[in-house]
Amino acid sequence: MSLARLEPGSSFSTGQATQARVVVDLVLEDLAQAAREKQVEITLEGCLQGLPGSAEVLYLLIRNLLENSIRHVSERGRVALKVIEREQCTVLSISDNGPGIPSAERSRVLERFYRIPGSASSGSGLGLSIVGRVVELLAGDIELSAPAAGTGLVVTVRLPFTAVRTQNQSAA
């Protein structure tokens, strides 16, 4: 359903800004039980900036990223969300200490229904494809990488403010 609502012609607005902390708090509230059950520690840094896009679209983005990390870390795992402003964009960085994604598979995990062969975790293979579609709608870019030390995954999403600022200026 989420992917269908993100298809061309959908009613999502991309020309607005939303406070990051508002969306993050909603996502954390919705994922609190899953994090508690696995005793996953979630840390936040920044999150005071505005994010380009509607609250609904940003909720899908952040929820799918955090839910994916919670699902793949082991019990007592760690997930970190950082939101910072850099030049003409906001950068979201979600890192975890789970098993990570092999570099050869990273481009494929953004495809619908793709699951890493031999993966033991549950899921339909749609979470990261939803993330990829939201990033595309917001004219951003996404990078999946390994952390500098240890195991895990770092997902970096850059969302430019230029489209929001241009649209808001032309409306004034």
Look at the chain and report how many structural domains it folds into. 1
DSSP class of residue 84 equals E
3-state DSSP assignment of residue 107: coil
Sheet holding 41-46, edge to edge: 41-46, 78-86, 89-96, 153-160, 141-145
Q: Are strands 141-145 and 89-96 parallel, antiparallel or unpaired?
A: unpaired
In order along its 172 residues, the chain shows pLDDT tens digits of 444 444 555 545 556 788 999 999 999 999 999 999 999 999 999 988 888 888 889 999 999 999 999 998 999 999 999 999 888 899 999 999 998 878 887 777 777 655 665 555 555 556 688 899 899 989 999 999 998 887 899 999 999 986 444 344 434 4
CA distance 51 to 81: 14
Q: What is the dihedral of CA 55, 59, 61, 62, to 10 degrees?
A: 120
Domain that holds residue 28: 2-171
Kindly report the CATH number assigned to the domain that includes residue 53. Answer: 3.30.565.10
